[in-house]
Amino acid sequence: MPEIIQDDESQVNFIEAKDATELALCFILAAAYLGLAKWCWTPLLLAHNWRMLINLEGFFVFVALVALAVGLRPYLSPSNLQLSMRGIKYQGPYWPQRKTVNWEQVDRVYLSPELIVVLYRPNMSSKRIWPMLIFCVYLADREKIGKAFLNFCPLTPVIMSSPALVSRAIIGLIFFFIVVWLFEMLMR
C-alpha cells in the first residue's frame, strides 16, 4: 500500500470482493436441498405423515433459501469501509445502512486481523459508549486495513491478535450445542 498523504481529502476504501464461484456453489447447494425436498415429498405424502412432511420439507426449503441469501448477499449489500482524516464510514455485511463515526467521537480502537472494535460516543455530551464492530474478513485487502487505521486514527489503537485455534474450536462447539438445543426445543 502506498504511503497515505495526510490532507483533509485523502481516504482509503476497502470493498468486499465478489466471487462468482461462491455464488455458483450456493446455487448448487440450494438446488441440492430443493432436490431432497422434492425426493422426500411423495413418500411422506403417501404415508400421510403430515408432521414429518411439514418439518422435513420446511427444513429443506429453509436451508435452500438461506443458501441463496448467503450467495446473493455480496451482490445486494456488499460490505465496505472508508477511512479518512474526518472519520470512519462502514457498512457491514448484514446491515444495509452505512454507519458514520467522526474521529472526535471515538473513545478507543481495538485492532486485530479479523475484527476491529471502535468504541465511540454518539453524542459528545453523552456518557454512553457504543461499539462499532468492523468485520475485516469480508473486506478485500484486509491485511492493509490495520496500517490504514494506524495512519488515520488520531488515537493509539490497541493491537490484538486473532484467537487461537483452541479458542475457535471451543466457540464452534458452543455454537453447535446451542443450535442442537434450539432444534431440540423446536421439535417438542
pLDDT tens string 84-119: 999 999 998 877 788 899 999 999 999 988 888 999
Helix or strand (DSSP H, E) at 185: helix 165-187
> 17 pLDDT exceeds 70?
yes
Q: Hunting for cell 476491529 — which residue is that?
A: 116
The pTM (predicted TM-score) of the whole model is 0.68
Kindly report the three-state secondary structure assignment for every residue of 14-25.
Answer: EECCCCHHHHHH
Split at pLDDT 50, 70, 90, the class of 7 is low
**Distance from C-alpha of 86 to C-alpha of 8, rounded to nearest angstrom:** 7
**Distance from C-alpha of 186 to C-alpha of 188, rounded to nearest angstrom:** 6
Domain boundaries, given as residue ranges, for the chain: 20-76
pLDDT tens-digit series, residues 46-64 = 888 788 888 888 889 999 9
Q: Mean of the pLDDT values across residues 18-40?
A: 90
